[in-house]
Structure 1
Amino acid sequence: MKATTPSPSGSVLIEGLRKSYDRAVKKGSAYAIDGVSFEIPQGSLVTLLGPSGCGKTTTLRCVAGLEQATEGRITMGGKVVFDSAGGRIVRTEDRPIAMVPQSYGIWPHMTVLDNAAFPLRHGRHRMPRRDARTRTLEVLEQVGLAGMADRWATQLSGGQQQRLALARALLGDPEVLLLDEPLSNLDAKLRVRLRHELREFQQRFGITALFVTHDQTEALTMSDTVVVMNSGVVEQIGTPEEVYDFPRTAFVADFIGSANLVPVELASQDTAGDVLASTAVGTLHCGRRTAGSTGTQGEGGFVFVRPENVEVRRLEATDDPGDCDFTAVVESAEFLGDRLEVVVGAAEVRITAFARSGSGVRPGDRVGVRLDPASTSYLAS
């Protein structure tokens, strides 16, 4: 593998990572991750996002050294910690990392202080017991647990245990913090609060972090960069705004948020360079250009639009649809407080839209449907 320019202190570079669980890798071997490459700039939080079994946790474990990759190269702070071609493998305990696992790994027979102080007493940066206690209390103060230092760890709530696991990780003075779905065991309201706290701590300490989750909301609200994975490969890398508004594939569009994907029979370009997509419900105007969809003329592909960019208005039997793209019938309408989530159907195509809660749209109503061209994209096959 071609060597690259060393990354700055605290940054991480993953190149061509592959992992097979076959004892002897041969032609036809299955790979849990296949050619995964991305960078984590110093001080940023990068999230691996994808469904169960997509390879995100395997990637994290390879970065941690808990799994040995079959091929590839991992660089941390300018130092190579794994290189299959050069035969270099740095042990987990010698890598400049700390990890917060899904279960937190809190020891029930220790106090809060002893749990947090463990890296200072037994890790890479050991210090005298008195100094370790002082430093630990400082960090516990920053995460709001100083008043609980002498409690048994089992006396903490789930959110407090998450903060304790984070404090212990930070006391290891890592260059890279690895977070393996640390919020998944918490109730919905607590997850919302702690994801803000976790992001605040990461930014306050200026630590480089790799976060693994299957929760799209966590990825969109916490990340500097999102790496979307599917079946062991990277589908797209971008900012939260990029992967949400400009998905490169139908998988990314469908997995992140709520998406409408209308099959395209034939696509062509108009004089302005926008795509006119022929579909079962008529010709739809796609004014948004999506990176990766280079084929803007031909058969196949999808029209992609988010529900918030679909307008639905109730029509009387004698009404002219006017500037609507097509007419449809409301199949369901769910009240969500601030809006209605409406599913309409036409020509075996289903479209989800958000309507005002007071719009009066009900199942069985005839409606006009319009897709905002400025927010509608064509995804090539």
Structure 2
Amino acid sequence: MSMDTVNSIVITELRKSYDRVAGSETTYAVDGVSFDVPKGQFVTLLGPSGCGKTTTLRCVAGLERATGGRIEMGGQVVFDVPQKRFVRPEDRPIAMVPQSYGIWPHMTVLDNAAFPMRHGRNRRRGQDIRKRAMDMLDQVGLAAMADRWATQLSGGQQQRLAFARALLGDPEVLLLDEPLSNLDAKLRAKLRQELRSFQEQFGVTALYVTHDQAEALALSDTVVVMNQGHVEQIDRPEQLYDHPRSAFVADFIGNANLIPVQDVSARREGGVIAKTGVGTVLCLRSSVEEDHRTGSGGFVCVRPENVEVRTTSQQETPMLEDDEFIGTVETSEFLGDRLELVVRAADIPITISARAGLGCRPGEDVVVRFDPTTTSYLAS
């Protein structure tokens, strides 16, 4: 990382364990997690339920006291085990939007928005509170509802109110714990665009938690993929999708065909030659260093949209080129813009997103081709 890069959050070897039953081994919800959140960036913690992402966020907020590690915010240490330092949540430069929004039902929309200016870390006085709250409500489209009870708002409006209230606390870091998960799919897609737009407009640093892959890819500058308390990969969304470093990341981010590898050897001009059940596959992408591209195990990874398929004539045996295989169509689903196929080759199912007009039917033989430039070898 460049020395000129300013980080709003630096997390180093963070660990969090919970009380164990007598005689059992210590288990960690978060085990040695390290990552940085650059100032003004939108960083997402992504992973399945139980992977440690929400626990990590709560440790950053100070709502959980970690077992080990170090957390810095804006260059100040807010948690450090050796130093016995723990800064209370209310003294950290943060605002948090929880999954349930945390809207006060006995307050109006205006009073909810103004709450952090009256009672928060950066308190204000006088008429400036109402003016600033109204200005913010206007920016999120809620100014006309300022005098309504908060319970009279829809789910999407409550989400906007929670975001406005958080920003009015003047936080250096905005923490968001799956704030869109309670909304329907269409509204969720609309509000994630608004959320990113607001974050960029106000220049606030955001640390976001979700299990929704599409949400993470659409919103984030950087995604931290977590699994069983560990970090699997930290990368830009495009890199995560195109260059996963593990079978877990490949399978969790989008759809992927993961074909077990029996033997692997390096190729002079780069890439890997992998022997699989469907045949020999050339992979020009690899998750391992060139010096270690030999041995056995691992997976060939290819996305469904990167698998080419063509029909064959029943009267003649097709001529196969490199990285081509014969398979039989098991299922064929017309999805409007594409044809979703499952082709079985050497008893291995391969999912393919083909053009809608291909016209493949179950039971027909087809030729499947993996393009080496979009095919990866992932070490086990």
TM range (shorter): over 0.9
Question: What's 2:115 paired with?
Answer: 118
How many residue pairs are counted as aligned between the two chains? Answer: 377
Q: Deviations over 1:192-219 (max 9, x none)?
A: 1111100010011010110000000011
Q: Judge conservation of contact 1:65–1:92 (CA < 8 Å) in 2.
A: yes
The residue matched to 2:292 in structure 1 has which SS? Answer: coil
Counterparts of 1:192 and 1:307, CA distance in 2: 24
Q: Judge conservation of contact 1:248–1:293 (CA < 8 Å) in 2.
A: no
- Shift of residue 52, structure 1, vs aligned partner: 0.2
- TM-score, length basis structure 2: 0.95
After superposition, the Cα gap between the structure-2 partners of 1:25 and 1:74, relative to the gap in structure 1 and judged at 3 Å, is farther
Counterparts of 1:298 and 1:8, CA distance in 2: 40
- TM-score, length basis structure 1: 0.95
The residue matched to 1:265 in structure 2 has which SS? Answer: strand
Question: What's 2:328 paired with?
Answer: 329
Question: What's 1:230 paired with?
Answer: 227
Q: Judge conservation of contact 1:43–1:206 (CA < 8 Å) in 2.
A: yes
> Higher mean Cα deviation, 305-314 or 270-279?
270-279
The residue matched to 1:53 in structure 2 has which SS? Answer: coil
After superposition, the Cα gap between the structure-2 partners of 1:82 and 1:214, relative to the gap in structure 1 and judged at 3 Å, is same
Listed as ranges, the matches of 1:91-170 within 5 Å are 91-170=88-167
The residue matched to 2:286 in structure 1 has which SS? Answer: coil
Instruction: Kindly provide the amino acid, as one letter, of the partner of residue 271 in structure 1.
Output: R
1:86 equivalent to 2:79? Answer no
Instruction: Kindly provide the amino acid, as one letter, of the partner of residue 45 in structure 2.
Output: L
Unaligned runs of 5+ in 1: none
The residue matched to 1:107 in structure 2 has which SS? Answer: coil
**Which residue among 173, 176, 191 is the counterpart of 1:179?**
176
Q: Deviations over 1:265-294 (max 9, x none)?
A: 011122212211111111011112335686
1:303 equivalent to 2:300? Answer yes
Q: Cα RMSD (Å) of the superposition?
A: 2.0
Q: Deviations over 1:142-174 (max 9, x none)?
A: 111111111111111111110000000000000
Question: What's 1:221 paired with?
Answer: 218
- Shift of residue 107, structure 1, vs aligned partner: 1.3
Counterparts of 1:105 and 1:336, CA distance in 2: 40
Q: Deviations over 1:51-76 (max 9, x none)?
A: 00000000000000000000000000
Q: Judge conservation of contact 1:293–1:378 (CA < 8 Å) in 2.
A: no
Q: Judge conservation of contact 1:6–1:75 (CA < 8 Å) in 2.
A: no
After superposition, the Cα gap between the structure-2 partners of 1:10 and 1:284, relative to the gap in structure 1 and judged at 3 Å, is closer
Unaligned runs of 5+ in 2: none
Q: Judge conservation of contact 2:301–2:378 (CA < 8 Å) in 1.
A: yes
Question: What's 2:339 paired with?
Answer: 340
Question: What's 1:288 paired with?
Answer: 285
Question: What's 1:211 paired with?
Answer: 208
Counterparts of 1:293 and 1:270, CA distance in 2: 9
Counterparts of 2:176 and 2:82, CA distance in 1: 28
Q: Deviations over 1:235-280 (max 9, x none)?
A: 0101101111111111001110000110000111222122111111
Q: Judge conservation of contact 1:213–1:219 (CA < 8 Å) in 2.
A: yes
Counterparts of 2:23 and 2:57, CA distance in 1: 24
Question: What's 2:196 paired with?
Answer: 199
Q: Judge conservation of contact 1:294–1:380 (CA < 8 Å) in 2.
A: no
